[in-house]
Chain A
Amino acid sequence: MKQDTKKLSVFVIVCLIISFTGTSCTTVKEYQKNKLNDGEMVLGNRKVEKSELNFHAYREGASGANAGKTGGGCGCN
Chain B
Amino acid sequence: MKRIFLTAAGLFALLHSFSQKTQDSTGFKSRKLKIEEVNFISSYYRQDGNNAAVTGGIGSQKLTDIVNITDVKLVKYDRKLRKHSFDIEVGIDSYTSASSDQVDLKANSSASYKDNRYYPSVNWSVENETKGTGFGMGVSVSTEYDYFSLGGNVFFSKKNKNKNGEFTAKFQAYLDRLSLIAPEELRGIAGVENGGSAARNTLSGSLSWSQIINERLQLMFIADVVQQNGYLSLPFHRVYFNDASVHQEKLPGSRFKIPLGFRANYFLGDRFIIKTFYRFYTDDWGLTSHMVNIEVPVKITPFLSVSPFYRFYDQRAIKYFAPYQKHTAIDPYYTSNYDLSKFHSHFFGAGIRIVPPKGVFGLDRFNMLELRYGHYAKNTGMNSDIISLHLKFKKT
Co-complex (A, B): yes
Number of A-B pairs, beta carbon distance below 8 Å: 201
Query: Can you spell out 8 A-B residue pairs with CB atoms less than 8 angstroms apart?
Result: A28-B212, A41-B273, A48-B351, A60-B315, A63-B257, A70-B224, A70-B259, A73-B176
A interface residue numbers (CB < 8 A to B): 13, 17, 20-21, 23, 25-28, 30, 32-33, 35-36, 38-44, 46-52, 54-56, 58-67, 70-75, 77
Instruction: Say which residue of A27, A49, A61, A67 sits within 8 Å of B372 (CB atoms).
Output: A49
Q: Which one of B214, B347, B378 has the highest number of Cβ atoms from chain A below 10 Å of its Cβ?
A: B214
Chain B, interface SS category: strand
> Scoring B residues 191 to 214 as 1 if CB is less than 8 Å from chain A, else 0, what string do you get?
000000000111010100011111
Q: In angstroms, how far is the closest chain A Cβ from the Cβ of B37?
A: 10
Pair B224/A65 contact, Cβ less than 8 Å: yes
Residue of A nearest to B255 (CB): A71
Contacts of A73 in B (CB 8 A): 140, 142, 149, 151, 174, 176, 202
In the complex, whether B228 has a CB less than 8 A from a CB of chain A is: yes
Residue of A nearest to B44 (CB): A51
> Scoring B residues 221 to 265 as 1 if CB is less than 8 Å from chain A, else 0, what string do you get?
111101010000010000000000000000000010101111111
Pair A65/B223 contact, Cβ less than 8 Å: yes
Residue of A nearest to B216 (CB): A35
Pair A58/B339 contact, Cβ less than 8 Å: yes
Contacts of B228 in A (CB 8 A): 71-72
Pair A48/B388 contact, Cβ less than 8 Å: yes
**With A17-B262, A35-B267, A65-B259 as given contacts, are A70 and B204 in contact (CB-CB < 8 Å)?**
yes
Instruction: Say which residue of B264, B273, B289, B371 sits within 8 Å of A20 (CB atoms).
Output: B264
Instruction: Say which residue of B204, B339, B370 sits within 8 Å of A48 (CB atoms).
Output: B370
Contacts of A21 in B (CB 8 A): 211, 219
In the complex, whether B307 has a CB less than 8 A from a CB of chain A is: yes
Instruction: Say which residue of A32, A36, A72 sits within 8 Å of B218 (CB atoms).
Output: A36
Q: How large is the interface on B (under 10, 10 to 19, 20 to 34, 35 or more residues)?
A: 35 or more
Expressed in whole angstroms, the Cα–Cα distance for A48 and B354 within the complex equals 13
Contacts of B224 in A (CB 8 A): 64-65, 70
Expressed in whole angstroms, the Cα–Cα distance for A56 and B279 within the complex equals 13
Expressed in whole angstroms, the Cα–Cα distance for A69 and B125 within the complex equals 19
Pair A72/B340 contact, Cβ less than 8 Å: no
Residue of A nearest to B321 (CB): A61
Contacts of B370 in A (CB 8 A): 46, 48
Residue of B nearest to A20 (CB): B219
Extra inter-chain contacts (4) besides given A40-B305, A43-B265, A64-B226, CB under 8 Å: A41-B265, A51-B65, A52-B388, A59-B376
**With A28-B215, A65-B223 as given contacts, are A38 and B261 in contact (CB-CB < 8 Å)?**
no
Contacts of A54 in B (CB 8 A): 67
List which B62-82 residues lie within 8 A (CB) of chain A: 65, 67, 69, 71
Pair B214/A26 contact, Cβ less than 8 Å: yes
Pair A71/B67 contact, Cβ less than 8 Å: no
Contacts of A41 in B (CB 8 A): 218, 265, 267, 273, 275
Contacts of B43 in A (CB 8 A): 50-51
Residue of A nearest to B161 (CB): A27
Instruction: Say which residue of B117, B305, B384 sits within 8 Å of A55 (CB atoms).
Output: B384
Contacts of B214 in A (CB 8 A): 25-26, 28
Pair B315/A62 contact, Cβ less than 8 Å: yes
Expressed in whole angstroms, the Cα–Cα distance for A26 and B386 within the complex equals 40
Pair B260/A65 contact, Cβ less than 8 Å: yes
Contacts of A26 in B (CB 8 A): 213-215
Q: Which one of A50, A63, A71 has the highest number of Cβ atoms from chain B below 10 Å of its Cβ?
A: A71
Pair B174/A77 contact, Cβ less than 8 Å: no
Pair B262/A36 contact, Cβ less than 8 Å: no
List which B136-175 residues lie within 8 A (CB) of chain A: 140, 142, 144, 146-147, 149, 151, 162-164, 172, 174
Contacts of A74 in B (CB 8 A): 117, 142, 147, 149
Expressed in whole angstroms, the Cα–Cα distance for A14 and B151 within the complex equals 34
Expressed in whole angstroms, the Cα–Cα distance for A24 and B13 within the complex equals 58
**With A25-B211, A66-B277 as given contacts, are A61 and B287 in contact (CB-CB < 8 Å)?**
yes
